[in-house]
Structure formats: structure tokens, C-alpha cells
């Protein structure tokens, strides 16, 4: 990040008619945006939610409350504008960019086709993907981000769609944050107690069968990850490489962000947190990235919904930086004690 | 609240293409709005931040980082559109309604004049206000809310302006939540360690001198409160009486909300939380109302700034209720496990 731009923004923030630092995270966001864009006057031009879709062979283990056919059904729902992410992106004046990185059944319509496979393999029986597939999915995410940056988008939100994808996310978070499996396995879309036990067992078995190397994020990603999780990581890496900030959505997105952070630690400086999910492993995953959630809405929907709400708050930070009066302009006395 | 409307909204929310309950607080907000407006199709028409301004005799005790002249200066800044609350209200498409309930020096311009006194008296030497003044200030807040409701506003945010006003707020919160003074006294606009000690002593002395009756909220308000805090309480009571929801801003606003809740416990159902302030007593105050903050922005500015950001999230809740597709419409399979 550009320290000079950030220092200039700090001076400006401290000249505004408010106690120094009293706008907390809004001030931090303004500085972060300036540091990323390398200017004391950061601007948001076009915003997009990059929703990556993929399926998971591990659904065979009975780890999800919804059947796999819901992934393509929800892809159509997003293309038709009826999903929660469409509603929240519309409110934020942002686009939803849906990418198929590997839905089990091909879908047609207004989405980007970057299919790597018909979903992953069942990770309890072997690797979810080959290392080559993981790389392909990572590159797919990077390509989508790069294309949108070329079109003038300069603020992203991550998002995803994929029945069963809290299971690989829990596996990744467990491995990369050194957490016990039981501490990072939640109810996903709403599985019952027996389902939670099956989910834990599936993750434990996948780790035992595949022996992922925690020092090699690509190994973890390919063995116990997901195609859409790889694409999220890729979109984050490309955003960072192109000096574009990216808002990290919930649990699955944060698992993708952990992969990105392991592959390129500097990418963390381009991440903006959004909400704290109900999914129990999310706090651990965020802590692994040094991120504190801004929103406390008890959400657990995915698609990019928490990140989409956060667009507004990032814009609040820039409005404050641009529009507030200074002590000098407004004739307000500065702090005396 | 209208239980029938809320039940209808619950049915609708559960028919939308998302796991049941997965939008957490957004779903709760949609139900709360419907219950308050007594309809399954709640709408937000016009939004206003009701910023109440008043001064505090206790500033003589050296409890604030800024001199008292900043209250009128900031009132002019708000009237000129240069304060943080103006920026955030503009972004939210909301009006800022500034009311002078008792600034020490009269100000002129586009604000509502409901002056009860030239600020409060120094509460370390006797009551901050007479009981009659406290009632007048309470009614002033109610009148402003009533007038705005008549003009078609149907969603409010509380806000305030008044140098020194975390001191009476800490006193109120200490008394009404049975908290030790030291647990609810923070740095306000940024006072140093010596100032924090003076502030604690001032509050302890005010409580000792005045012996407020914790079972009589009006007694607490008049002896150790503030004119703008009374007006905030009044605006909340009027909003509740008129079936209009009101978003509670930070520490001072929450002290006002505690007074309102003691005077009329049913008013709590009309309160919507906003942010969790840096001011250390805020969590205790919110807990006293059963409110969980939605935003975690480390803010401590006041004016209504945290509540103004929350307008957007309340609107998110209604967009979700209105615009999302149902499982039936979108042809998405419902939960199977």
C-alpha cells in the first residue's frame, strides 16, 4: 500500500470536524482505499459481486440440508435476479457476476463459463481435485477479476454458491488455522445434529485419507477444497495484484481468502471484512487473516450477501473523507485538553 | 406490535429462496417493521435523524476534551451541512433535523428552537435540571417527533450534540443498569487519563449530592441528565406511541433510550440498535435494553452517525422481504434433511 497517500489521508481526516479517530473503522477504510489506489482521493467507480459456483462430491456423505440440484437451480435464480444477492447488489448499485467453475450439471444463460469439472470428487475417498484442476479454478477466478477490472470495476465483493461447500471450507479453516475440526464445523444451510456428526466425520476422514500438507496451500485446496473456493482465492489474488480492494463475504469466502493469504500474504492488505457469520468457524478464519467483522447480522446465506451490504459502508468512508468540513472551514475550535 | 402481521411476514420469509432464518437480523428487522407498522408489507417513506443539542453545566469540572463553545459551533456546522451526520444522512437520503433544547449560547438558523434553558446546571453542586425542565425537554423531543411524523416521516434515528454529554450519560447508565461508575466512564471525545479521573469523581459527586431515585427515571434524568438526553427520550416515546420505529445511536442516545424504557417499557419494541460504540459503558446500556449492535465500527462521534448508517440496513431488510423470489416461483427444491 502507498504509505504517502495514507499519511495524507490521515492528515485530512484529523482536520475534519470530529474528535480525532472518532469515526473508527470508517477512517481505517478511507486510508486503506487510498493506500490501495495510491491516491489521497480514492474513488469507487463500478462495483461487482463475484459469485463463484461449484459442486462438491462430498455431498454423497449426507453433509448438506439441501440436495445438489439446488446449485444449478440457484444459479438460474441468480441469473433471473431473484436471489438475495441480486436484491442486495441492486440496493448497492453493484453488478452480480456469476461464474460457473464447476456446477455438477451444466447451466445456460447469463453467467461466465469457466467450468473446470462437473464438481469435485468425494474428498473422503481421495483428493477433491487434482492439483492442476485447483490451479485452473484459481486462474478462472483471477481471469474473471481481471476482465472486470479491465471493464472499470474497482471494488469487488466475493461470493459463492455450491451445495455442501461449508464442508470443504471447514476442512480448509481447520488445517490453516490449526483448529480442531469440531470447532469449525457448523450447520451450514441448516443440517440437524446427526448431519453435523456426519459432516465432522467426513472432514476427519478426508484429512486422514488425503494427508494435506498445511505448508502448501495449493495442496490443501486441491485435496479438501472446492472449485468455487479456488476461484475466490484467485479473484482475491488478481484484485490485489491489480490494486483493487475486495470485500470478503462469509465463511466459505473467508476459507478462500485464507488460501489466498497463504499463497501471497501481501494480498491481505487488499481484503476488507464484512460480516461475522453464524457459522462457528468464521471467527477463527477471520482471526487467521487479522480481520474484524464490521457487520453483526447473524447471517449464514453466502452468495456474497454480507459483502454486498458492506459496499455501502466503504462508500460511507469515502463520503466522509470527501465531504466533511474541516475545523478551519467551519470555524470550530479544536481539542483543548 | 402486531403479531398477525409478524406471523405473515415469517411465512413469507420462509418461502424465499434461502435457508430458513439465514438472513438473521435482516429477517428480524423485517418482522419488527411489519409489527410496528401493523402490515405484512411495511414501507419506509421518509427518514430523519433527530439530532438534539444541549449544553452541560458539569463542563466546569474539566470533564471534556473540547470547550463548551464547540456546541454552538458544531450546531452551525450541522446547519451548513459540513458535519459527519450531514454526510451520512445525505448518503442515506435522510434529513437531519437539528433541535436546540438548551445550547448555552443561543444560535440562529435552520434549526428547531425548543430551548428549555441555557444548558443544565453543574450536577456536582445540585440537580442538573428541575423536574419541570426535564419534563419540558422530554416534551420538546416528543413534539419534534410528532411534527415530523405528521410530515410523513416514518423512520427515525436518534442523535445528539452537546459538549460534556458522555458525563451525564455515564451517570444515567450507572444508575439504571446498576453498574459501577468506573465501568461506564470512557474517554468521550478524547480526554486524557487525568480527565477520566475528574469525570469519574464528578459523576460520583453528582450522585452523592443529588441522591437520584433509581426507581424514578424522571428523577434520575433531572438530577444527573441532560436536556438533549431528555429530548431523545421524548422522541423515542412519541415514535413508539405513533407506531414509528426509531434507530438508537451510540452511548448518549442509549442513555436516553434507557430513560424512555423506564418510563414506558413497551417503547423498547420500537427501538432498533445501530452500532457498538468505543465508549465503554455502551454495551452495558444496550444490554439493559436487550439490544445487540448491528455495526461494529469502533465509532465514538455521536450526532446520530451510527444510526444514520443503519438506515441502509433497515432498507435492506425490506428489499429482501419485497423482492426475493420464492422457492415456488424460482423452481428451487426445498430443504430435504
At A67-102, the pLDDT tens digits run: 999 999 999 999 999 999 999 999 999 999 999 999
One DSSP character per residue, A262-331 reads HH-GGGGGGEEE-B--SSTTHHHHHHHTT---SB-------TTHHHHHHHHHHHHHHHHHHHPPBHHHHT
CB-nearest partner of B18 from A301, A309, A323:
A301
Phi, psi angle pair for A18, to nearest 5°? -165, 155
Higher pLDDT, A65 or B151: B151
Residues of B in contact with A89 (CB under 8 A): none
User: Lowest mean pLDDT: which of A187-196, A231-240, B67-76?
Assistant: A187-196
d(CA B92, nearest CA chain A) in Å: 9
Residues of A in contact with B87 (CB under 8 A): 316, 319-320, 323-324
Contact B333 A73 (CB under 8 A): yes
- Domain at B3-42+320-330, CATH class: mainly alpha
Contact B295 A299 (CB under 8 A): no
A282 Rama sector, left if φ>0, alpha if ψ -120 to 50, beta otherwise:
alpha
CB-nearest partner of A278 from B24, B315, B320:
B24
Closest listed residue to residue A269, CA positions, set A279, A261, A277:
A261
- Residues with pLDDT less than 50, chain B: none
Radius of gyration of chain A (CA): 20
Reduced to 3 states (helix: H, G, I; strand: E, B; else coil), residue A112 is strand
Distance in Å from the first CA to the final CA of chain A: 34
Radius of gyration of chain B (CA): 20
CB-nearest partner of B65 from A77, A316, A336:
A336
- Please enumerate in sequence order all residues whose Cβ is within 8 A of that of B53, keeping only pairs 6 or more positions apart, or say none: B71, B75, B98, B99, B100, B101, B102, B103, B111, B160, B161, B162, B228
Domain ranges of chain B: 3-42+320-330, 46-314
At A100-146, the pLDDT tens digits run: 999 999 999 999 999 999 999 999 999 999 999 999 999 999 999 99
Q: What is the dihedral sign for C-alpha A176, A179, A180, A185?
A: negative
Q: How many CB atoms lie within 10 A of CB B329?
A: 14
Contact A65 B325 (CB under 8 A): no
pLDDT given at position B334: 86
Q: What's the 3-state SS for chain B?
A: CCHHHHHHHHHHHHHECCCCCCCHHHHHHHHHHHHHHCCCCCCCCEEEEEEEEECCHHHHHCCCCCCCCHHHHHHHHHHCCCCHHHHHHHHCCCEEEEEEEECCCCCCCCCEECCCCCCCCCCCCCCCCCHHHHHHHHHHHHHHHHHHHHCCEEEEEEEEECCCCHHHHHHHHHHHCCCCHHHCCCCCCCCCHHHHHHHHHHHHHHHHHHCCCCCCHHHHHHHHCCHHHHHHHHHHHHHHHCCCCEEECCHHHHHHHHHHHHHCHHHHHHEEECECCCCCCHHHHHHHCCCCCCECCCCCCCCCHHHHHHHHHHHHHHHHHHHCCEHHHHCCCCCCC
Name the β-bridge partners of A157.
A49, A247
pLDDT given at position A335: 78
pLDDT given at position B337: 56
b/e string for A256-275 if b means 16 or more Cβ within 10 A? bbbbbbbbbeebbebbbbbb
Pull the grid cell for residue B94: 435522510
User: Is the predicted pLDDT of residue A336 greater than 70, yes or no?
Assistant: no
Tell me the average pLDDT of chain A. Answer: 97
Pull the grid cell for residue B324: 426475493
pLDDT given at position B189: 87
pLDDT given at position A337: 56
d(CA A113, nearest CA chain B) in Å: 21
pLDDT given at position A72: 97
Under 8 Å between Cβ of A74 and A84: no
User: Is the predicted pLDDT of residue A56 greater than 80, yes or no?
Assistant: yes
pLDDT given at position B335: 78
Strands B112-113 and B153-161: unpaired
pLDDT given at position B35: 98
Query: Which of the residues of B are catalytic?
Result: 303
ipTM: 0.96
What's the average model confidence in pLDDT over A281-286?
96
The conformation of residue A16, written as its DSSP 8-state character, comes to B
Catalytic annotation on A303? yes
**B318 → chain A, closest CA residue:** A87
Choice among A108, A303, A322, A323 that is catalytic: A303
What is A46-314's CATH topology?
A: Rossmann fold (3.40.50)
- Please enumerate in sequence order all residues whose Cβ is within 8 A of that of A21, keeping only pairs 6 or more positions apart, or say none: A27, B190
Residues of B in contact with A62 (CB under 8 A): 337
Distance CA B97, CA B114 (A): 12
Q: How many CB atoms lie within 10 A of CB B69?
A: 14
Distance CA A89, CA B242 (A): 33
CB-nearest partner of A316 from B73, B191, B309:
B309
Amino acid at each position: 500500500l502507498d504509505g504517502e497517500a495514507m499519511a495524507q489521508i490521515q492528515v485530512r481526516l484529523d482536520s475534519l470536524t470530529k474528535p480525532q479517530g472518532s469515526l473508527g473503522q470508517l477512517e481505517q477504510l478511507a486510508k486503506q482505499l487510498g493506500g490501495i489506489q495510491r491516491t489521497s482521493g480514492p474513488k469507487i467507480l463500478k462495483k461487482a459481486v463475484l459469485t463463484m459456483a461449484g459442486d462438491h462430491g462430498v455431498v454423497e456423505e449426507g453433509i448438506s440440508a439441501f440436495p445438489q440440484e439446488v446449485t444449478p437451480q440457484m444459479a438460474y435464480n441468480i441469473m433471473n435476479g431473484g436471489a438475495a444477492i441480486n436484491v442486495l447488489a441492486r440496493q448497492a448499485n453493484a453488478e452480480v457476476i456469476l461464474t460457473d467453475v464447476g456446477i455438477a450439471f451444466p447451466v445456460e444463460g447469463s453467467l461466465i463459463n469457466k467450468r473446470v469439472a462437473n464438481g469435485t470428487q468425494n474428498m473422503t475417498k481421495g483428493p477433491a481435485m487434482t492439483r492442476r484442476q485447483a490451479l485452473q479454478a484459481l486462474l478462472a477466478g483471477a481471469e474473471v477479476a481481471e476482465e472486470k477490472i479491465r471493464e472499470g470495476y474497482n471494488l469487488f465483493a466475493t461470493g459463492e454458491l455450491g451445495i455442501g461447500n461449508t464442508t470443504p471450507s471447514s476442512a480448509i479453516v481447520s488445517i490453516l488455522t490449526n483448529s480442531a475440526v469440531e470447532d469449525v464445523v457448523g450447520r451450514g444451510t441448516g443440517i440437524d445434529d446427526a448431519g453435523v456428526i456426519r459432516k465432522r466425520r467426513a472432514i476427519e476422514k478426508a484429512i486422514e485419507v488425503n494427508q494435506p500438507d498445511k505448508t502448501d496451500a495449493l495442496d490443501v485446496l486441491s485435496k479438501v477444497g472446492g472449485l468455487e473456493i479456488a476461484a475466490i482465492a484467485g479473484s482475491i489474488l488478481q484484485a490485489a495484484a491489480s490494486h483493487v480492494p475486495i470485500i470478503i463475504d462469509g465463511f466459505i469466502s473467508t476459507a478462500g481468502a485464507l488460501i489466498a493469504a497463504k499463497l501471497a500474504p501481501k494480498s491481505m492488505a487488499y481484503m476488507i471484512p464484512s460480516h461475522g457469520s453464524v457459522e462457528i468457524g468464521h471467527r477463527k478464519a477471520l482471526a487467521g487473516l487479522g480481520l474484524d467483522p464490521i457487520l453483526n447480522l447473524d447471517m449464514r446465506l453466502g452468495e456474497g450477501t454480507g459483502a454486498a451490504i458492506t459496499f455501502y459502508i466503504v462508500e460511507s468512508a469515502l463520503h466522509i473523507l470527501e465531504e466533511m468540513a474541516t475545523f478551519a472551514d467551519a470555524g470550530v475550535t479544536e481539542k483543548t485538553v
